[in-house]
């Protein structure tokens, strides 16, 4: 079954992790053997070939470039201008992938539906291009508001104002407080251009402030349920209901700590001993469906290889292709074939068809 994954940091893996995602997963892992600069070295699950094997034919692919102030101890870049430059390097990688026929950018409804038709009508997926819709995770790299339209012109279609820690426009995971000066103008420009607001990573206060200002389309690309995993990174039932009321889709993230209700300790808790399997995510799927009263508002936003690898994936996930096993798992949990199709791809495709006027 076709899978639409609404959050993959593909270009970050290529440009910052220096991974050649056109190679086999074994080749990528072997080349990283013995490296210790990142905790997930040699443990990645994502390559373009593995995406094809798992029929993940379309995704929301990110750009990401965090600015870090001198007094903050976070990884990131020392000026918004440098952060912008990093996002442009990531864009250049996407462009090379397009030139090689590995990927294709999707900017509008016609391109979306043509790409979906291609994937659903072609039996051999091994040489098909992977479609991507461009999103920006954290708005720090928008040097001024004028940069938003520049980015829209090259295909940016969604922005999450926050990421981890303090941000230039909004505080994110691990922070507190409301929107920063300038975020109102950012949101107004996004709405003018038709750029989706990705609410993922927003603090509680900034979440509500953003929804009050911004009346355009919203979603949460990779966000699980606080009722199950009690942490600020997840959304409360009240927040999830607000998104459902705005006809948002919420993408289920497969970062094991976001799935595990027992209190994860990075580098200590292990997926197998914690019992975190792919099926664990269905608890979050069920919760959102119960809140909504239907299956129209939940999808996949795996965030696989988003700064972690197999050490923090469900224990039965060897590669991203294993997302395909969710089809059978959902069926065994009582979801109809039509509902499984909605969760695996249909809800994201429907919502984009509603958002994009052409």
pLDDT digits (tens, 9 = 90+) for 170-201: 999 999 999 999 999 999 999 999 999 999 99
- pLDDT score at 202: 98
Q: Which conformational region is residue 242 in: left (phi greater than 0), alpha (psi within -120 to 50 degrees), or beta?
A: alpha
91, pLDDT greater than 90: yes
Mean pLDDT of 64-69: 96
Helices (H), ranges, 122-253: 146-153, 183-193, 204-213, 237-245
Share of the chain above pLDDT 70, in %: 100
d(CA 312, CA 32): 17
* 68, 77, 165, 217, 277 from 81: Cα distances, Å: 12, 9, 19, 28, 41
Reference 191, options 246, 229, 239; nearest CA is: 246
Confidence of residue 16 (pLDDT cuts 50, 70, 90): very high
For 4-355, which CATH superfamily applies? Metal-dependent hydrolases (3.20.20.140)
125, pLDDT greater than 90: yes
**Domain ranges (residues) in the chain:** 4-355
- pLDDT score at 129: 98
> If you write DSSP's letter for every residue of 191-213 in order, what string do you get?
HHHT-EEE-TT--HHHHHHHHHH
pTM of the model: 0.97
Mean pLDDT of 306-333: 97
d(CA 332, CA 329): 5
d(CA 70, CA 278): 40
61, pLDDT greater than 90: yes
């Amino acid at each position: 079954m076709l899978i639409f994954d609404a959050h993959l940091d593909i270009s970050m893996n290529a440009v910052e992790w220096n991974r050649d995602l056109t190679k086999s997963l074994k080749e990528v892992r072997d080349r990283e053997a013995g490296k210790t600069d990142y905790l997930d070295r040699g443990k990645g699950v994502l390559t373009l070939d593995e995406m094809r094997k798992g029929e993940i034919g379309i995704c929301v692919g990110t750009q990401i470039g965090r600015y870090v102030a001198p007094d903050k101890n976070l990884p990131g870049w020392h000026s918004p201008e440098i952060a912008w430059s990093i996002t442009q390097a990531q864009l250049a990688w996407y462009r090379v992938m397009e030139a090689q026929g590995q990927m294709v950018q999707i900017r509008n409804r016609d391109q979306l539906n043509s790409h979906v038709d291609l994937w659903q009508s072609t039996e051999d997926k091994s040489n098909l291009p992977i479609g991507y819709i461009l999103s920006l995770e954290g708005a720090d790299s928008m040097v001024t508001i004028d940069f938003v339209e520049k980015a829209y012109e090259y295909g940016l279609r969604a922005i999450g104002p926050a990421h981890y820690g303090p941000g230039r426009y909004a505080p994110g995971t691990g922070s507190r407080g409301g929107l920063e000066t300038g975020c109102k103008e950012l949101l107004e420009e996004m709405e003018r251009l038709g750029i989706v607001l990705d609410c993922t990573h927003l603090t509680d206060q900034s979440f509500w402030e953003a929804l009050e200002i911004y009346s355009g389309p919203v979603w949460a690309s990779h966000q699980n349920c606080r009722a199950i995993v009690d942490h600020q990174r997840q959304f409360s039932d009240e927040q999830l209901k607000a998104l459902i009321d705005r006809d948002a889709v919420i993408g289920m993230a497969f970062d094991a700590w976001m799935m595990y209700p027992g209190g994860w300790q990075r580098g200590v808790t292990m997926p197998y001993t914690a019992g975190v399997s792919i099926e664990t995510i269905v608890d979050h799927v069920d919760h959102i469906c119960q809140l909504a009263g239907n299956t129209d508002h939940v999808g996949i936003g795996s965030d696989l290889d988003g700064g972690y690898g197999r050490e923090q994936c469900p224990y039965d996930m060897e590669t991203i292709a294993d997302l395909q096993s969710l089809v059978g798992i959902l069926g065994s949990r009582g979801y109809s074939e039509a509902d499984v199709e909605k969760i695996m791809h249909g809800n994201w495709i429907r919502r984009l068809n509603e958002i994009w006027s052409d």
